[in-house]
Structure 1
Amino acid sequence: MGFHAGVSYLEIRDLHTHFSRSTGPWFARRKQEVRAVDGVSLEVQQGEILGLVGESGCGKSTLSRTLMQLIPATSGSVILNGENLSQLPRAEIRRRRLDFQMIFQDPYASLNPRMTVYSTLAEAVLQRHPGLKGKPELRQRVEALMATVGLDPRVMKKYPHEFSGGQRQRIAIARALAPEPKLVIADEPVSALDVSIQSQILNLIKKLQQDLGLTMIFISHDLGVVHYLADRIAVMYQGKIVEAGGAEEVFRQPKEAYTQRLLSSIPRLAV
């Protein structure tokens, strides 16, 4: 899978993301602290896929958005390629975000319905290469991106609603690749798709990671899907990493009762 052992591209050190929410009836509201991410430490090595697995509500999505600097961490560090993102000003974070992109669960919600596929992908390409605006090479890059994710470039003037769910997820993947990131975080990218389409998208992600040498965090509630893709697996429960190790090791010989329960209770996808 293009895994280069020993070279950490992303380091997560004692990361906490807490927030408050109101509970109780309106006349007796009280604040409750939610420890969505509660002391997570992980390393993602260059060229590997780290699978992050856990049930809904365990903190996976909050962790991914904290890593993307979309929500602030309460404490701890996110170090990308040797640089502590937690200490950078917002303007610098926006510049660095070209290096780490996200694929979301619902492609339709993540695509602008008023923009054609060409406009969506061209906008993303221009983030990295603003000098291509108005030049033939911009169109060539968009066409190449579409071909890379298995879409016919001749349909790039269509809008998101004119595509199937699987095709829209391919467009979302192409958009994530357009700024030429080194790290991609995929947050449940197949869970909203029909089972028949899920395997196609998983195979595409696997091929892209191998061909492009991407470093990836693949988030899912399905340990079987994560096992298919990942070099290593981290299991999250109630904001904490409760087990981590090689994909085969965690899948075949889980040490924690929670991981064992995931294996026995969650139907796994045959790909």
Structure 2
Amino acid sequence: MEEIKEKIKNSIRAYILGDALGVPFEFQEKGSFTCKGFTGFGTYNKPIGTWSDDTTVILCLLDALTKANLNFDKAEKIFKENLNAWYYEDKFTVDGLFDIGTQTSISIQSKFENSLTDRMGNGALFYLPLTFCFVCKELQKKDFIQFCKITHNNLNCFNYGWNLCLVIKNLLNEIADRIKLEEFKNRGDVINTFNLVLNYFYQLRESDLSLRDCLCRVINEGEDTDTNAAILGLLLGLIKEVDKKDWLMVRKHEFADQIIDEFVQTLIA
């Protein structure tokens, strides 16, 4: 179980690392830049190691799951409270409110009164860490939907998000299933992110490249660089180790580690 603990912690760290590496390049076109490692400023003019809403949302989620002792109904309530604390009070953030997705913003402003929509942003993939609950309890698609619909109430978000949950479950169980990928364009919705990230994961999972170098590869595809790298990090982080020097470059990494450690301890007491 200690090995599983370390895998999960490393995976979440790798997600945050990918987010922080990708923030300076978000929405830039492929070929207009080269990511070789940590850099600052760029799109949002933020210091080196700044993470975005991608990390904030999963920290809100992990904190809620911990405080609710993995009771999903209780966690849903706490998660919504955490999102409000982020949006209105700058909690769970490294540098204030920036780069928040339209659907997430509307959801919080509307007090989470979300009807089914045709918008399928890749923010639905923020809920992938729910998969780690598999280590101590059964997780079903309806559980993923319960949280996903809070900000991304869309059928494609449910389906593609759940499929990635199954990929993560297989990695935890060391099963190397390969999903057939569709044609895609790198444009930041859940289907295209799903295909782009898995395409890179299959290419890089057995490579000798460091985790950071792998994340830079997908960042150099441009567009939604932070989310693409974060999701790839979540997958590759179950295989490749986060370098301690890289982790120390991430701003407020101690704050993130506290939430991660408490979550992992709740999973595997």
Check whether TM > 0.5. no
Which structure shows the bigger proportion of residues in strand conformation? Answer: 1
Q: Select the structure with the greater relative contact order (CA < 8 A; seq sep ≥ 6).
A: 2
For normalisation by structure 2, the TM-score amounts to 0.31
Rg larger in structure: 1
For normalisation by structure 1, the TM-score amounts to 0.31
